[in-house]
Structure 1
Amino acid sequence: MPMPEVVVRKFVTRIEEILHEGGPVSADPPKRGVIAAVIENPFAGRYVEEIAGFMDDLKPLGLAMSRRLLAALGGDGAAIEGYGKGAIVGEGGELEHGALWHVPGGYAMRELLGQAHAIVPSAKKVGGLGTRIDIPITHKDASYVRSHFDAIEIGIGDAPRRNEIVLVLAMTTGPRVHARVGGLAVSDIAKWDGLR
């Protein structure tokens, strides 16, 4: 069964540069960035059994969004240390439509960043206009690097409409600005299994 075309209504990109959170000003302030694409949900309003093929159609969008976000964060893939993804499905859709973003969103960032061993953490929900979502973030090479456990929130005032999905990617250039609760350090990543 042929899958529908991906129709994008708009992109939203936001970059944060965190100088401090009450402690000393960082000499190298970490950045957190998020990009969202508001797309038409071709399955809204009805139950469609065969939807998995749409993941292939979303792959070019995942790569384009990854490139846009990387450029907004300075363009250096080697500077990216953390990532995450998510989706907000409009009320006419179902949670499973957000799950279509797992492969095209996650693998696009991993492909662009080269060595990126850890699973890309994810969140998804169904909601109306202005719904906000926290995108979880972990280190790109080892999920247990505690200093990189983070999140970035995003919401768009006029999205998602009932027949839309907001697809989201997030990247960071370092740990939380005042990370100091121990755990596995980036310098101690040894197994290269995406975990430790």
Structure 2
Amino acid sequence: MPEFTLRKTMVFVEDIHHDAGPAPRLPRRRAAIVALVHNPFAGGFVIDLQSAMEDLKPLGLMMTDRLIEAMGGIDGIDGYGKAGLVGENGELEHTALWHVPGGYAMRERLGAAKAIVPSSMKMGGVGTRIDIPLGHINAAYVRSHFDGMEVGVPDGPRANELLFALAMARGPRIHHRMGGLGVEDVKGEDGLR
């Protein structure tokens, strides 16, 4: 059983009060949480990585719970995304370990979330920043919720570390006006519409 020893977590919260045009009735909140963990696969090539996703599920649930708390509760959360960043002694495929633990933790806690959890992955050294893509939790075609949140940690990921990230949002981009499927028209049956 590989050990993903947790070194650090950080939480980021943004309340967007204005973005040109008239001020919104309520600010839009986006929040993210990142975790820096030891990469047990750094420095070598391992064929079977999939089984290690199971070991990361408790981390995904803990991070999701903390993120919901940072969002001020579950009510109204309608956007989500995830990301992974691997240090220089790892390989990009190590970031894919986060697909199941990160995505399914948010789906489990958010209830009826149907849409695929948008994801980004990359390799980088200490201080590298990564954009977490955001999309609507029930319908991928809701353009008003296409967004991203940039995060980074000043002292990570170190060469033998992984940075795993989750993000959530409440509401669409301020002054969205690019058409597409409206939130009021979401059927929530197939994760697309």
Scaled to the shorter chain, the TM-score interval is over 0.9
- Deviations along 1:80-123, whole A, 9 cap, x unmatched? 10000001000000000000000000000000000100000100
Q: Structure 2 length normalisation: TM-score?
A: 0.98
Asked if the contact 2:138–2:188 (Cα under 8 Å) also holds between the matched residues in 1, the reply is no
Map 1:100-179; keep pairs closer than 5 Å.
100-179=97-176
Asked if the contact 1:89–1:165 (Cα under 8 Å) also holds between the matched residues in 2, the reply is yes
Which 5+ residue runs of structure 1 have no aligned equivalent? Answer: none
| CA-CA distance at 1:190 after TM superposition | 2.1
CA distance in 2, matches of 1:12, 1:87: 14
Which of 35, 38, 60 is residue 62 of structure 1 equivalent to? 60
Which 5+ residue runs of structure 2 have no aligned equivalent? Answer: none
| CA-CA distance at 1:31 after TM superposition | 0.4
Q: Structure 1 length normalisation: TM-score?
A: 0.96
CA distance in 1, matches of 2:139, 2:87: 33
Q: Which residue of structure 2 aligns with residue 21 of structure 1?
A: 19
CA distance in 1, matches of 2:88, 2:188: 42
- Report SS of the residue matched to 2:81: strand
CA distance in 2, matches of 1:42, 1:62: 17
CA distance in 1, matches of 2:2, 2:114: 31
- Report SS of the residue matched to 1:85: strand
Asked if the contact 1:78–1:113 (Cα under 8 Å) also holds between the matched residues in 2, the reply is no
Which of 27, 30, 33 is residue 32 of structure 1 equivalent to? 30
- Report SS of the residue matched to 2:184: helix
Runs of 4+ in 1 over 3 A off after TM superposition: none
CA RMSD in angstroms comes to 0.8
- Deviations along 1:19-71, whole A, 9 cap, x unmatched? 11111111111100010000000000111112211100000100000000000
